Amino acid sequence: MNSKTLLPALFAAIAAVATPPLQADAAVPKNVILFIGDGMSVPQRMTADEFSRKAGGSSLAMNALPFSAVTRTCSADSLVTDSAAAATAIACGKKTKNHSVGVDAKGKRLVSCAEAARDAGKKVGIASTVTITHATPAGFYAHRPNRSSTYEIAIDLADSGFDFFAGGGLDRKYKNDDSPLWDDHGHAYHYAESKGYTLVRKRADFLALKPGCGKILTRFRDDALPPSIDARPDSNEPTIAEITAKAIELLDCPQGFFLMVEGGRIDWAGHANDAATNLRDVLALDEAVKVALAWQDAHPETLVIVTGDHETGGMSMGFAGTGYALYMDRLANQTMSVDRFDGKFSGLYEKCRKEKRRLEFDDVRDLITEAFGFKFQGDRALDPMVLSNDEKEEILAAFRNDVRFMDGDNEDSDKYDEAKKKILASTCRTIMSHKCGIGWSSGAHTAMPVLTTAKGPGAERFSGFMENTDISKTIKSFWTEK
């Protein structure tokens, strides 16, 4: 067998892995709550777990679930999946090509476990911390060969008839004919309203919703919710835990429900190799898992599943500079995401330009300390956050690079998975990772398997070694097999 046939054969063998048949006397859940940490594999779960325990808390609730399975993530055309293909596998039980959502490798429409739940008479909810038309949520209701077709995906959302969509807004992109996704009156949102959805724009109004309110689509903003590290108590956006609690309240019914909750910002922080932001979004997702488990205690007919769609960043717990030691507690010194820091840095530059003076390093020194907890003076033997001379030089060189870049009125990449030309923010987060003992091998996805854990009726089926497609097959089997 040559190299041109070996890879397709390997994928075919992988896809042929069968889900164990449902035993006749096995418990069947009435409700299923599926959590997906986008970009969350074992290192992300364990880094957050270690941070939580170092901070005086407990291990993650998602890590304490009684059943667990190592889960393979490859797509139909690559050992390294993207979120669209991974979501399709988890939602629909079939491998597809990277960038496709809700269709197989030949473009044929698939049925997701969410649609199967709807067709079985159950209520259905989809929630995410990123845009609700992003790849992972789209895999549960959309059917498009390319995840970038966000206008069509928004139409699929409204046509799905699902009962609840909450989190980030509809992607602010364009139709295939380059006309806006919405005009000044919000075309895509109006289409959803025409399909019976009530738009909810304010956190207070969302939290006040009561059962019987009808189909819900939130519009707290027209893009992703802020990362957990940047969220503020007076924010208009609810937390993912609050969204989960409200979803359960509204979806609960005699027929049962299916709810998918995505921690999408975990992936974005992984692309940025931003460890502190990454772990705080894992912790935020774990708070949502705790909400589901507390509800499950009173409703034991509920199955709770936690998984990831793939790993992002090649995160490792261990770095040569710290030997065999890890210092997760040092990540508590970082108070904002690298993206927010970079925005503040750019704001300082623009302020100085308006004042017709040059931005100096002294202008940003306090911001660096505020954002990362780095100290430019002190005894390193007594305080690990005191910078070494080499670290200071790295930061100063990055600052000078960025000033030259901005002086030329250049525009940096706005894509989360592309290398940036401005490097001060990335230099600071790299120093932070190294101080903690965290390593990164990539700014993209990896082929590392993820961990799936579960509790409730049917949870024993999520054990051992499984394909991501088995998640959907198992969920569907609860409602189709007798």
Q: Which amino acid is at 387?
A: L
* Dihedral angle sign, alpha carbons of residues 332, 431, 444, 364: positive
pLDDT in tens, the chain (482 residues): 444 445 445 444 444 444 444 444 468 999 999 999 999 999 999 999 999 998 888 899 999 999 999 999 999 999 999 999 999 999 999 999 999 999 999 999 999 999 999 999 999 999 999 999 999 999 999 999 999 988 899 999 999 999 999 999 987 654 454 555 544 445 788 899 999 999 999 999 999 999 999 999 999 998 899 999 999 988 899 999 999 999 999 999 999 999 999 999 999 999 999 999 999 999 999 999 999 999 999 999 999 999 999 999 999 998 777 778 899 999 999 999 999 999 999 999 999 999 999 999 999 999 999 999 999 999 999 999 999 999 999 999 999 999 999 999 888 777 767 777 899 999 999 999 999 999 999 999 999 999 999 999 999 999 999 999 999 999 999 987 54
Residue 172 has a pLDDT of: 63
22-45 pLDDT per residue, tens: 444 468 999 999 999 999 999 999
Which tokens hold the place of 447?
Answer: 């082929």
| Ramachandran quadrant class, 69 (left: phi over 0; alpha: psi -120 to 50; beta: rest) | beta
Residue type for position 466: M
In order of 152, 180, 187, 188, 189, the CA distances from 184 in angstroms are 19, 9, 8, 11, 11
Write down the residue that tokens 């080499």 correspond to.
Answer: 390
CB burial readout 229-244, b (16+ within 10 A) else e: bbbeeeeebbbbbbbb
Q: Are 478 and 322 in contact (CB under 8 A)?
A: no
| Angle, alpha carbons 403-405-406 (nearest 5°) | 65
